[in-house]
């Protein structure tokens, strides 16, 4: 609990990119406010960057703070709190573990590290009594982790689901609004700075999966890592999928879904498990998530007593993310002054992870089929054989339809769209494999999940 | 920091109505979870109710806990935390002050008491080092106060605005959806249990004003009491107003609006002040608040770095409110165990309250006018004289219109609707008074504010 001579809480900042720059700006511009809110000054004592020449604003205005040796900065005796906005696993992990072991509190926005090795950080914090805060790691400025781990700490959370990656949402919004192709929308996102040169973290769902792991860990008091999260990216979403969604009255979103699932055991007791998954899915247009456009994030939380809650705001960007970092910084600084501690890791429930094969959802299956008698019966039979119940079927093209092509086989192809009732992923996959082998089926054009997302939809007059 | 022999945190509950019953249920049903989350058991040691015979569930299941002497319960040595869900100022104020002075932490849902005398409670808590938490006082289950006083503690909040009274929103939703009159909608709300026998707290805006005071206090680090909040109820909203709003593409909502307003002084420095107000206003249908129906609450928060955030959920009801109470209970119990404290009162900014006359908004003014030459010029002149800029005018009825009546004066009346640009309330009031005196004006039929609510609307393609 040592602090500076004037009682200041002394902060080391690791990284000074878009977010770090805003952190420096907020700490310095709001010095008087922060002092009043914390009860003592909050003082920046060092900023570690790899290549100082890339940070002219920092090196001009705060030359005395700049260092290239992050490890040495973390180890300094006059550092009370380490704020990390570099990202990535190594070498950051070592620095944060060192800081926590030395009793220094850590504020980090590092979703990848938390999702891979959060328990090690939490244990180091618990061992020394230091604080570990990371509101900025999920959904940028939106206060989401503090509500989950504090406001809802007396309730049972059953679901956390939403849009937590702004880049993929920007791309999907562009595809939905003007029929842009995935490639063109990605190019636009890159041009505007939303997507990185290598967009994999965003479009392949790694970023969202890390966030899902963090959310599920907090919501269900169970350690969930990124590798526990079923992950499907959005590269495969085509303009045809977007159009098919629109015909259904839906919009495709890349969703992160964390659920507490309870099964009745044969003996009447209940077995709970956790499902955490990320994939593109159709969302009914009537659901508020369907209207979350561009780089915004929105997350629904359901709890037994609280019912359904929604949180909405900017999920990324320098200033919004810095706002979340500063909120955490004020909290850990207040704890330094008051001698308290933030909530520790809560992982007592240790629920098992449910395999994706056992997770039920509705599906939209697009088939190209031969337009001849018996095709529907054959296909419906295949669904029935796997125990997948069909909610709706629609045929377009063929003799009376609009598809105008032929493969020379003498059969005119038609398009058959099937929407299922809730089915387990394993059963649906088996159905799709069997359909592909049917004589009547020319090809399985697309398979997408349809997520009703529970009560919000019911409230809007649509059953799940 | 004394606790029970098993280390339990011992809780006294004051009140056991709809919310209290759910609090008892959650504490008992979730005992194992709460123990794991707090690190020690949370034990209910007494429940004070005025008339035990009205609480058969409580007296049958927990006869040993029931007492009619709340004061004695609060004073017991074996009470660590007092949870209050009775409501009202007296006699609750005395009990809570006694508890805090004795170092017992308080969790309360009492918006009226907090809005009237929050500083006295905060001072008592600070003096003894006890915690004072009240998430349930505003917007039921929605985590809103914790985000304001913790998550955004490193940012500058500029606005908190939304729907914080479910009863009035239920009535307004019913009026908007099927043209129900205010009286019929109120009757329905009473029948369903949303409105009390005396609906004044809800429909006259007292409840929303208390909540606005609490929100403004936290958001702007300034003591704001209910008497600082400009309050207009919704009894005066007619079916004609609802129809007029619809013609404008708007919906009428009872809003609580808290803003930090900054004026440039002549010498170039800036003077900040706080505006807190409650009134019915037209909200553009494109704004998410227009779609918040029934008993739900939704609140927008704007901060300089975070941008715009939205929180949505159930604003009332036993279980949702109890969820918020339990979240606070876990927090104060953790603090008991860990030796820490929640955030203290933060009122260092002490900003002045801006009089309602100086608050600019847009207005919708409905006039019945004589349909003769020069009427528009005369009316427009009156607006110009008071410096109120007109954004749009629409005339219906009269010679070419649809109003089919005459007052025998030889003049056929017409309806003139004026929407202004942003104007100060004082200027608008003076305009309305002057208009009423004009020969051409038969009557001022309705005056309602139009709230664009800032960036959310801009984002949706509508200027403020």
B334 pLDDT higher than 80 = yes
Q: From B273, B304, B338, give the residue that closes a domain.
A: B338
> In this complex, do B307 and A327 lie within 8 Å of one another by their Cβ atoms?
no
Mean pLDDT of A200-216: 97
- Residue B152 and residue B289 in one domain: yes
Residues of A catalogued as catalytic: 211
A vs B: CB pairs below 8 A? 189
Higher pLDDT, A4 or B130: B130
Residue B211 in this model has a pLDDT that exceeds 90: yes
Residues B169 and B260 in one domain: yes
pLDDT, position B2:
58
* A residues 133-162 closer than 8 Å to B (CB): 135, 141-143, 146-147, 150-156
Confirm whether residue B19 is marked as ligand binding: yes
Residue A372 has pLDDT above 90, yes or no: no
Task: List, in sequence order, the alpha helices (H) in B87-199.
Answer: 92-101, 111-128, 145-146, 166-178, 182-191
Q: Do B305 and A22 touch (CB under 8 A)?
A: yes
| Same domain, residue pair B162 and B187 | yes
Q: Are A425 and A357 in contact (CB under 8 A)?
A: yes
The pLDDT confidence band at residue A2, using thresholds 50, 70 and 90, is: low
| Judgement on whether residues B185 and B309 belong to the same structural domain of the protein | yes
- B258: which DSSP letter? E
CA closest to B318 among chain A residues: A305
Domain count, chain B: 3
Q: Does A308 touch chain B (CB under 8 A)?
A: yes
Per-residue pLDDT averaged across B240-263, rounded? 94
Q: Measuring CA to CA, which residue among B58, B45, B54 is closest to residue B6? A: B45
pLDDT digits (tens, 9 = 90+) for B214-237: 999 999 999 999 999 999 999 999
Looking at residue B123, which CATH number applies to its domain?
3.40.50.720
pLDDT of residue A248: 87
pLDDT for res A400: 44
The pLDDT of residue B399 is: 52
Domain end (from B306, B338, B370): B338
- What number is the average pLDDT over the span A67-74? 98
Note the pLDDT of residue A398. Answer: 61
Of A186-190, B99-103, B264-268, the least confident: B264-268
What does the pLDDT look like over B389-428, one tens digit per residue?
A: 999 998 887 654 444 444 444 456 888 999 999 999 999 9
- Regarding whether A257 and A375 lie in a shared domain, the answer is no
Q: Is B420 helix (H, G, I), strand (E, B) or coil?
A: strand
Give the confidence band of B288 by pLDDT, cuts at 50, 70, 90: confident
Classify B271 in phi/psi space as left (phi over 0), alpha (psi -120 to 50) or beta. Answer: beta
Three-state secondary-structure class, residue B422: coil
- Work out the burial of residue B90: count CB atoms within 10 Å of its CB; fewer than 13 is exposed, 13-18 middle, 19 or more buried: exposed
Q: Do the domain assignments include residue A39?
A: yes
How far apart (Å, rounded) are the C-alpha atoms in residues B180 and B192? 16
Q: What is the pLDDT of residue A461?
A: 29
Distance from CA of B179 to the nearest CA of A (A): 20
Which stretch, A241-250, A281-290, A374-383, B299-308, has highest mean pLDDT?
B299-308
Q: Please tell me the distance from the alpha carbon of residue B49 to that of residue B68, in angstroms, as a whole number.
A: 5
User: Is B129 an interface residue toward A (CB < 8 Å)?
Assistant: no
Q: How confident is the model at residue B457 (pLDDT cuts 50, 70, 90)?
A: very low
Q: Which residue has the tokens 């008497």?
A: B227
**Shared-domain flag, residues A135 and A15:** yes
Domain harbouring B308, CATH code: 3.30.360.10
Question: A441 pairs with which residues across the strands?
Answer: A369
ipTM above 0.95, yes or no: no
Mean local confidence (pLDDT), B316-330: 96
What's the pLDDT score for residue B287?
87
pLDDT of residue B464: 30
- Check residue A2 and give left, alpha or beta (phi > 0: left; psi -120 to 50: alpha): beta
Does residue B17 have a known ligand-binding role? yes
Decide if B343 is inside a domain.
no
Write down the pLDDT at residue A455: 43
Contact B305 A319 (CB under 8 A): yes
pLDDT of B265 > 70? The answer is yes
Q: Report residue A210 as tokens.
A: 């890390």
Share of chain A above pLDDT 70, in %: 94
Q: Please, what is the average pLDDT of chain B?
A: 91
What pLDDT band is residue A270 in, cutting at 50, 70 and 90? confident
Per-residue pLDDT, B411 = 56
pLDDT at A28 over 70: yes
**How are beta strands B9-14 and B42-48 bridged, if at all?**
parallel
Cross-strand bridge partners of residue B299: B162, B311
Looking up tokens 């696993």, which residue turns up? A89
Token pair 């037994």: residue: A304
Check whether B386 has a pLDDT greater than 60.
Answer: yes
- Which pLDDT tens digit goes with each residue over A139-192? 999 999 999 999 999 999 999 999 999 999 999 999 999 889 999 999 999 998
> Looking at residue A345, what DSSP letter applies?
-
Q: How far apart are CA B207 and CA B363, in angstroms?
A: 24
Q: Alpha-carbon distance A463 to A452, whole Å?
A: 8
Locus of tokens 């310095």: A28
- Cα A61 → chain centroid: 36
B314 part of contact set with chain A, CB < 8 Å = yes
- Supply the pLDDT for residue A295: 82
Asked if B102 and B163 sit in the same domain, the reply is no
Least CB–CB distance from A309: residue in B309, B312, B343? B312
Residue numbers of A between 218 and 257 with CB closer than 8 Å to B: 221
Instruction: Report the pLDDT value the prediction gives residue A250, as an integer from 0 to 100.
Output: 93
Residue B59 known to bind ligand = no
| pLDDT computed for residue A373 by the predictor | 83
Query: What pLDDT is attached to residue B401?
Result: 43
First to last CA, chain A: 52
Let me know whether B171 and B224 are in one domain.
Answer: yes
**Within this chain, do residues A284 and A332 fall inside the same structural domain, yes or no?**
no
Find the mean pLDDT for residues A453-459. 44
Query: Residue B453's pLDDT band (boundaries 50, 70, 90)?
Result: low
| pLDDT tens digits, B296-321 | 999 999 999 999 999 999 988 999 99
Does any domain span residue B202? yes
Interface residue B40 vs chain A (CB under 8 A): no
In a domain, B180, yes or no: yes
For residue B403, what pLDDT is reported?
44
Query: Would you say residue B60 lies in a domain?
Result: yes
Give CA A346 to chain center in angstroms.
20
Nearest-CA distance from B154 to chain A in Å? Answer: 5
Asked if residue A220 and residue A283 are part of one domain, the reply reads: yes
Would you call B399 an interface residue with chain A, using a CB distance cutoff of 8 Å? no
Query: Do B157 and B100 lie in a common domain?
Result: no
Q: Is B221 left (phi over 0), alpha (psi -120 to 50) or beta?
A: left
**What is the distance between the alpha carbons of residues A23 and A20, in angstroms, rounded to a whole number?**
5
Q: What pLDDT does residue B395 have?
A: 85
- Residues near A355 by Cβ (< 8 Å), separated by ≥ 6? none
**Are A301 and A308 a contacting pair, CB within 8 Å?**
yes
Q: What's the pLDDT tens digit per position in B46-63?
A: 999 999 999 999 999 999
In a domain, A370, yes or no: yes
- Residues B160 and B283 both lie in one domain: yes
Give the CATH number, domain containing residue B377.
Answer: 3.30.70.260
Q: Per the domain annotation, does B296 fall within a domain?
A: yes
Show the tokens assigned to A271. Answer: 């077995």
When CB atoms are compared, the residue of A22, A305, A349 closest to B26 is: A305
Q: Do the domain assignments include residue A84? A: yes
Query: Which tens digits make up the pLDDT trace of A384-440?
Result: 999 999 999 988 876 544 444 444 454 578 889 999 999 999 999 999 999 999 988
B12-38 pLDDT, tens digit each: 999 999 999 999 999 999 999 999 999
CB A270 within 8 A of CB A184: no
Residue A409: which domain range? Answer: 357-459
pLDDT digits (tens, 9 = 90+) for A30-58: 999 999 999 999 999 999 999 999 999 99
């Amino acid at each position: 609990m040592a602090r500076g001579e004037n009682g200041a809480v002394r902060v080391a900042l690791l990284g000074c990119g878009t977010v770090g720059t805003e952190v420096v700006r907020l700490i310095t511009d709001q010095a008087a406010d922060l002092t009043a809110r914390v009860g003592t000054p909050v003082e920046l004592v060092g900023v570690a960057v790899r290549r100082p020449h890339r940070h002219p604003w920092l090196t001009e205005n705060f030359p005395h703070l700049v260092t290239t040796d992050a490890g040495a900065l973390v180890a300094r005796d006059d550092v009370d709190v380490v704020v990390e906005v570099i990202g990535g696993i190594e070498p950051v992990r070592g620095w944060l573990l060192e800081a926590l072991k030395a009793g220094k509190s850590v504020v980090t926005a590092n979703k990848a590290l938390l999702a891979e090795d959060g328990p090690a950080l939490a244990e180091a914090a618990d061992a020394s009594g230091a604080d570990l805060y990371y509101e900025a790691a999920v959904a940028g400025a939106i206060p989401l982790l503090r509500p989950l781990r504090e406001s809802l700490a007396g309730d049972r959370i059953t679901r956390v689901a939403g849009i937590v990656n702004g880049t993929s949402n920007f791309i999907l919004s562009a595809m939905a609004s003007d029929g842009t192709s995935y490639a063109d929308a990605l190019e636009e996102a890159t041009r505007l700075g939303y997507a990185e040169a290598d967009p994999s973290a965003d479009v392949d769902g790694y970023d969202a999966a890390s966030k899902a792991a963090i959310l599920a860990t907090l919501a269900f008091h169970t350690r969930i890592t990124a590798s526990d999260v079923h992950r499907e990216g959005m590269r495969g979403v085509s303009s045809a999928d977007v159009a098919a969604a629109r015909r259904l009255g839906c919009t495709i979103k890349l969703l992160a879904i964390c659920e507490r699932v309870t099964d009745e055991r044969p003996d009447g007791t209940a077995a709970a498990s956790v499902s955490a998954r990320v994939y593109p899915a159709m969302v009914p247009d009537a659901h508020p998530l369907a209207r979350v456009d561009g780089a915004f994030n929105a997350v629904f939380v359901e709890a037994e007593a609280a019912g359904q809650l929604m949180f909405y705001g900017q999920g990324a960007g320098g200033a919004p993310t810095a706002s979340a970092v500063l909120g955490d910084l004020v909290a850990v600084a207040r704890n330094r002054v008051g001698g308290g501690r933030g909530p520790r890791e809560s992982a007592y429930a240790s629920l098992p992870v449910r395999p994706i094969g056992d997770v039920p959802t509705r599906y939209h299956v697009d088939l190209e089929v031969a337009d001849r008698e018996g095709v529907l019966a054959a296909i419906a039979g295949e669904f029935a054989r796997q125990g997948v119940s069909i909610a709706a079927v629609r045929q377009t093209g063929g003799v009376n339809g609009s598809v105008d092509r032929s493969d020379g086989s003498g059969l005119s192809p038609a398009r058959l769209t099937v929407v299922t009732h809730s089915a387990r992923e394993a059963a649906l996959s088996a159905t799709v494999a069997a359909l592909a082998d049917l004589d009547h089926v020319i090809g399985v054009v697309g398979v997408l999940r349809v997520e009703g997302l529970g009560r919000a939809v019911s409230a809007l007059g649509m059953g799940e």
